[in-house]
């Protein structure tokens, strides 16, 4: 089984230096595109490979690039940004790539920047990824020294500057337009789309924001071709995918597997199944902002289409497992606390709706819930949907809640009727 993205990552070892990376074939794709391919050919190759954005939305990467104005009339300045602000609860796949092989990311960024003819690129990194920051800084310096970055790269006449920007720790910055505002030094509020960043992005110039894992796929697609990339997959969606599992499983972790590997395989073969004494109740397939899946879904292949058909989203592909000894209400409350806190405060439903949801769940969890609270939770899941809020944060927050209300409804009702949390060992009298 091929694992192109993680083949050179050994957790116990420092990441490859530029020399070592070159020795195993690193930066070959850069030389190839600069010598053999036009930007349009790179775009088409990536489009053909059916690479879909690994940040969660799953949009075709080549197609996304094709909206960038090209040619002599296009603005002189364009930007490429690597979205390394990985803050989705339960998600740690980009961290593996960032800490394990930063040169692979830089190589992918050069490919992407070349494809859209951007001359300035940024890595927008989550502040807490201190080790990654150190490794990327070193890798960028090495790449400059070796002539993969800077002016006239490898004698091709193509220029690309690269900068590392570490955020200040807002989940909101993972949203590409909020990321751009933050990069400009403004509040990390999202921007309305249209206009899309491809037309008016960073500093009002055409910009592509791609996820780290997406960018890391690029060198391999360039080197091995679109058909090879599609062949890696076990489903309609091409390539491999970094899947992760957290929760009470025997060996939580992150593995590069073919797209379309079933949930059961990931859970049982790689994560080792549930820990002794814990039973599986459900899982969030792709981070905190995806709908719960339950027992009946375990044989679904992990790809964009299959998970969507089951009413959830593959998202980042990193699952969080809910076991039978964790209170689903408390579980969801914990998530809502995060989302309420990370709302940027720009639009009303998210800013004022999420704290309300959080308070309701806290009350229910503490045994202070009232029957009408279920209605209040339901109208939030209805009206905090996509389109009603300014960006996808609140709709994402509603996904685990609405599915929890569907699959674990009796648990919520039990809290309200019995005035205490059945999982709580301490008796909490209602106030």
Partner 1 sequence: MATIYIDNVPYEVTAGKNLLEACLTLGFDLPYFCWHPAMGSIGACRQCAVKVYRDENDKTGKLFMSCMEQVRDNLHISIADMEAKEFRAHVIGWLMTNHPHDCAVCDEGGSCHLQDMTVMTGHNYRQYRFDKKTYVNQYLGPFLNHEMNRCIQCYRCVRYYKDYAGGKDLDVFAAHNHLYFGRHEDGVLESEFSGNLAEVCPTGVFTDKTLKQHYTRKWDLTTAPSVCHHCSLGCNIVAGERYGSLRNITNRYNGEVNGYFLCDRGRFGYEYVNSLSRIRKSLIRTQLPEATDKYKALQAAASAIKAGRVIGIGSPRASVESNFVLRTLVGENNFHHGVSDVEHDLAELALRILRTGAARTPSLKEVEKADAVFILGEDLTNTAPMLALAVRQSVRQQPLLEQVSKANIPVWQDAAVRALVQTEKGPLFIAASTNTKLDELATATFFDSPDAIARLGFAVAHFIHEESPNVNGLTEQEEALAQQIAMTLLAAENPLIISGTFSGSDRVLRASANIANALCAKEKAAGLVLTLPECNSMGLAMLGGHKLESAFEAVLNGYADTIVILENDLYRRAGTERVKQLFAAAKQVVVLDHLHHATTEQAHILLAAGAFAEADGTLVNNEGRAQRFYQVYPTTEDIQESWRWLFEIGTIVAHDQIIQWESFEDLQKAMAKEIPPLQGVLATAPPADFRMAGQKIPRAPHRFSGRTAMLANINVSEPKPPEDPDNPMTYTMEGYRGQPPSSMIPFFWAPGWNSAQATNKYQQEVGGPLRGGDPGVRLIEPDPIPEEIFSMAVPQNFQPLPDHLFILPLYHIFGSEELSAKSPAVAERIPKPYVAINSDDALRLKLEEGQSLSFSIEGIAYELPVKLNSTIPSGTAGLPIGLPAIAYTELPAWAILNKQIQWKQQHQTTF
Residues that bind partner 1 (CB under 8 A): 170, 172, 181, 187, 191-192, 194-195, 199-200, 203-204, 340-349, 351-356, 359, 363, 370, 376, 379, 383, 387-390
105-120 in b/e burial notation, b at 16+ Cβ within 10 A?
bbbbbbbbbbbbbbbb
In angstroms, give the least distance from the CB of 368 to partner 1.
10
In angstroms, give the least distance from the CB of 355 to partner 1.
5
Residue matched to tokens 């030389």? 31
Nearer of residues 206 and 244 to partner 1, judged by Cβ: 206
In angstroms, give the least distance from the CB of 390 to partner 1.
6
Nearer of residues 126 and 191 to partner 1, judged by Cβ: 191
Nearer of residues 149 and 173 to partner 1, judged by Cβ: 173
Nearer of residues 308 and 341 to partner 1, judged by Cβ: 341
Nearer of residues 127 and 278 to partner 1, judged by Cβ: 127
In angstroms, give the least distance from the CB of 367 to partner 1.
15
Q: Which H or E element spans position 124?
A: strand 120-125
Token pair of 384 as six digits? 């905090």
Sheet holding 79-84, edge to edge: 161-166, 120-125, 79-84, 207-211
Nearer of residues 6 and 181 to partner 1, judged by Cβ: 181
In angstroms, give the least distance from the CB of 140 to partner 1.
26
Nearer of residues 305 and 355 to partner 1, judged by Cβ: 355
In angstroms, give the least distance from the CB of 68 to partner 1.
13
State the DSSP code for 8.
T
Nearer of residues 100 and 396 to partner 1, judged by Cβ: 396
Q: SS3 for 279-348, per residue?
A: CEEEEEECECCCCCECHHHCCCECCHHHHHHCCCCCCCCEEEEEECCCCHHHHHHHHHHHHHHHCCCCCH
Three-state DSSP state, 367: coil
The widest CA-to-CA distance across the chain, in whole angstroms, is 74
Judging by beta carbons within 10 Å of its beta carbon (0-12, 13-18, 19+), is residue 243 exposed, middle or buried?
A: buried
Q: Which H or E element spans position 245?
A: strand 240-246
Q: Is the CB of residue 201 less than 8 Å from the CB of residue 83?
A: no
Return the closest-CA partner of residue 244 out of 309, 279, 288: 288
In angstroms, give the least distance from the CB of 235 to partner 1.
30
Q: Is the CB of residue 53 less than 8 Å from the CB of residue 65?
A: no
Three-state DSSP state, 119: coil
Which residue(s) pair with 84 in the sheet?
125
Q: Please state the φ and ψ torsions of residue 243, each to the nearest 5 degrees.
A: -105, 145
Nearer of residues 201 and 260 to partner 1, judged by Cβ: 201
In angstroms, give the least distance from the CB of 194 to partner 1.
7
Token pair of 426 as six digits? 């301490």
Q: How far apart are CA 374 and CA 385, in angstroms?
A: 17
In angstroms, give the least distance from the CB of 65 to partner 1.
18
Q: How far apart are CA 182 and CA 179, in angstroms?
A: 5
Cα 256 to its chain centre, rounded Å, is 15
In angstroms, give the least distance from the CB of 331 to partner 1.
21
């Amino acid at each position: 089984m091929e694992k192109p993205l993680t083949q050179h990552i050994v957790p116990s070892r420092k990441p490859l230096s530029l020399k070592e990376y070159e020795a195993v074939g690193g930066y070959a794709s850069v030389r190839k595109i600069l010598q053999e391919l036009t930007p349009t050919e790179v775009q088409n190759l990536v489009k053909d490979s059916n690479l879909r954005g690994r940040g969660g939305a799953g949009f075709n990467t080549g197609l996304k690039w094709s909206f960038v104005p090209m040619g002599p009339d296009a603005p002189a300045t364009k930007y490429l940004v690597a979205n390394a602000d990985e803050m989705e609860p339960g998600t740690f796949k980009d961290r593996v790539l960032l800490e394990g092989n930063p040169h692979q990311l830089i190589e992918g960024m050069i490919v992407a920047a070349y494809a859209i003819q951007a001359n300035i690129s940024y890595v927008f990194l989550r502040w807490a990824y201190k080790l990654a920051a150190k490794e990327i800084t070193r890798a960028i310096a090495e790449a400059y020294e070796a002539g993969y970055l800077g002016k006239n790269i490898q004698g091709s006449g193509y220029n690309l500057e690269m900068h590392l920007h570490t955020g200040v720790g807002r989940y909101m910055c993972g949203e590409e337009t909020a990321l751009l505002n933050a990069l400009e030094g403004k509040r990390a509020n999202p921007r309305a789309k249209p206009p899309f960043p491809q037309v008016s992005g960073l500093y009002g110039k055409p910009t592509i924001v791609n996820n780290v894992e997406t960018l890391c796929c690029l060198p391999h697609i360039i080197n091995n071709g679109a058909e090879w990339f599609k062949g890696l997959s076990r489903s309609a969606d091409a390539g491999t995918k970094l899947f992760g599992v957290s929760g009470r499983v025997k060996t939580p972790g992150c593995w590069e597997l073919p797209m379309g590997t079933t949930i059961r395989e990931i859970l049982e073969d790689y994560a080792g199944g549930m820990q002794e004494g814990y039973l599986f109740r459900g899982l969030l397939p792709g981070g905190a902002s995806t709908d719960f899946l339950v027992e009946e879904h375990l044989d679904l292949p992990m790809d964009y289409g299959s998970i969507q058909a089951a009413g959830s989203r593959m998202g980042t592909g990193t699952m969080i497992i809910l076991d039978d000894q964790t209170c689903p209400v408390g579980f969801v409350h914990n998530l809502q606390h995060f989302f309420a806190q990370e709302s940027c405060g720009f639009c009303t439903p998210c800013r004022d709706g999420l704290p309300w949801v959080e308070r309701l769940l806290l009350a229910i969890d503490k045994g202070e819930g009232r029957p009408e609270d279920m209605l209040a939770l339901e109208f939030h899941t209805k009206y905090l949907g996509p389109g009603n809020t300014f960006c996808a944060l609140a709709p994402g927050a509603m996904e685990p809640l609405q599915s929890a209300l569907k699959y674990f409804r009796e648990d919520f009702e039990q809290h309200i009727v019995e005035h205490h949390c059945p999982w709580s060992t301490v008796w909490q009298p209602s106030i």
